[in-house]
Amino acid sequence: MKQLFWIGIVVLIVGVASLAIPIPHHDSSGISVGGASIGIQTSHSERVSPIVSCVLILAGAGMMMSGRSTVSS
């Protein structure tokens, strides 16, 4: 049960980080004629959809609540 709690913490942290940290993408395109080549490299950053981030946060919180140890009386 403790493993589920720790996995929930990791999923929760990934969900919160996905709201703030953009994911970089690099694209390269070019042409080569004979011994000469011309190339263009572009880069842009995209963020994960807020819906995906919310699902990760809720799933992490759910795992943490179900994975916590219960007190037996």
Chain centre distance of CA 43: 18
| 17-31 residue pLDDT tens | 999 898 888 888 888
pLDDT at residue 33, as a whole number: 86
- Phi and psi at 36, nearest 5°, equal -105, 145
Domain boundaries, given as residue ranges, for the chain: 2-22+29-67
Indicate whether 58 pLDDT > 90: yes
**Over the chain, what is the mean pLDDT?**
87
pLDDT at residue 54, as a whole number: 94
pTM: 0.67
What whole-number distance in Å separates Cα of residue 67 and Cα of residue 69?
Answer: 6
Indicate whether 47 pLDDT > 90: no
Integer CA distances (angstroms), 47 to 8, 23, 43, 65, in order: 22, 6, 14, 28
